[in-house]
């Protein structure tokens, strides 16, 4: 389910404040006929804002997986989101680091996309 399915032009921005966004998130959970699922993956915007808080408070979550890139600012945001999940007693199942490097198709050399690696270590 995506909000893009409900708007006429997928290129138009959705400019909503927190309460409206939170209401839409709740409505997706309660009003969509999900049938029997093995897993439901909820892709949320980064950070600790209204969407994350609404999801963590209103949907029965078994655990979350954080996705990061090796960049200082992103690492800080992921760290805050992990701390938020811990405070809300939601288990962090893992951390995926995306865009760490690419392999050169000609020589198999690793090419880092950012200047350095940032490794995240958290108490899970």
Place of tokens 């093995």: 38
Annotated domain spans of the chain? 3-112
> Cα separations (Å) of 18 from 23, 51, 63, 84?
9, 8, 23, 18
* pTM exceeds 0.85: no
Q: Is the CATH number 3.40.50.300 carried by domain 3-112? A: yes
Give tens-digit pLDDT for 35-56.
Answer: 999 988 888 888 898 889 999 9
Give tens-digit pLDDT for 19-31.
Answer: 898 899 899 999 9
Report the distance separating Cα 26 and Cα 38, nearest Å.
20
């Amino acid at each position: 389910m995506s909000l893009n399915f409900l708007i006429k032009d997928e290129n138009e921005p959705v400019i909503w404040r927190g309460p409206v966004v939170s209401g839409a998130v709740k409505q997706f959970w309660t009003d969509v006929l999900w049938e029997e699922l093995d897993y439901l993956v909820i892709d949320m915007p980064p950070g600790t804002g209204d969407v994350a808080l609404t999801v963590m408070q209103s949907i029965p979550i078994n655990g979350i997986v954080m996705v990061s890139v090796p960049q200082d600012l992103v690492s800080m945001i992921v760290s805050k989101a992990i701390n938020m999940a811990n405070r809300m007693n939601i288990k962090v199942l893992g951390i995926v680091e995306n865009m760490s490097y690419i392999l050169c198709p000609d020589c198999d050399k690793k090419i880092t996309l950012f200047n350095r690696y940032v490794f995240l270590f958290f108490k899970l």
